[in-house]
Amino acid sequence: MSFTVLVPARLASTRLPNKPLADIAGLPMVVRVAQRAGESSAARVVVAGDDPSIVAACRAHGVEAILTRQDHPSGTDRLAEACEQLGLDGDDIVVNVQGDEPLIDPALIDAVASTLATHAEAAMSTAAHEIDTIGDFMNPNVVKAVLDAQGNAMYFSRAPIPWWRDGSANGAAPAGLPTPAPLRHIGIYGYRAGFVRKFPSLPPAPVEATEALEQLRALWHGHRIAVHVSHVAPGPGIDTPEDLARVRAVFDAARPA
């Protein structure tokens, strides 16, 4: 199996300005992400940046990078342009690794690529992990996934699904978690390049706007998303200055004394 990792990187960020270039133990964040992705089995890792400064920072550290338009409404649109620039099409597999995940597990990247390769009926793949606290189950910022018998996604939601009818009273939070454990969606995606190139032309789904979850567009149009269930919790991403401080502390602790 051969696949390409694409790392979309956008300079503008309301909560953390210039986020892709934030220093983590002496290297820009996006370079850390690309280096981590390079530890997977990917044949190629390419950063798709929206600003020349991102491309320059990557190339200065030996990371392949291409410049994409600044006006893309989503990371998936940026991936579509990157696939076109790189000549990826048809059943070529690409894995979208977010540019703010410097602690992503390379084995998870491999698993998402393998899941798509072994699910011929799927246009996409992603990952999920068992939820083990009521707080996460009820948290709308923790996206939940429900799967079918073949391991394909039936639905993604910010709501606590599946709802344990007999474990709660009058709509209150359940006393415990349902069995089997509900699944937390992990924000990593595999795509067939031909599908991601046409994705921006698909009309948005009404439910996509309601939930603010772009992957629901694929389901709404009848495309299948295969899901790898990981037994290892994902590493922390970076959205805020506080997140950045926590991840910097992880890298600092790993440095030789």
**Contact in structure between 66 and 52 (CB atoms under 8 Å):** no
- For 55, the 3-state DSSP assignment is helix
* pLDDT above 70 for 74: yes
Alpha helices in 88-205 (DSSP H): 106-117, 134-138, 193-198
**Contact in structure between 196 and 84 (CB atoms under 8 Å):** no
Interval 150-166: pLDDT, tens: 999 999 999 999 998 88
Query: Rounded to an integer, what distance in angstroms lies between the CA atom of residue 223 and that of residue 238?
Result: 30
pLDDT of residue 257: 61
What percent helix, strand, coil does the chain show, rounded to 5? 35, 25, 40
Cα 106 → chain centroid: 13
Domains in the chain: ranges and CATH? 3-126+185-206+213-252 (3.90.550.10)
Query: Rounded to an integer, what distance in angstroms lies between the CA atom of residue 236 and that of residue 227?
Result: 20
Interval 14-67: pLDDT, tens: 778 899 999 999 999 999 999 999 999 999 999 999 999 999 999 999 999 999
| Ranges 91-105, 124-138, 177-191, 229-243: which has the least confidence | 229-243
pTM score, whole prediction: 0.93
Mean pLDDT of 190-199: 96
Containing 225, the helix (H) or strand (E) segment is strand 224-230
Query: Rounded to an integer, what distance in angstroms lies between the CA atom of residue 40 and that of residue 111?
Result: 10
pLDDT of residue 15: 79
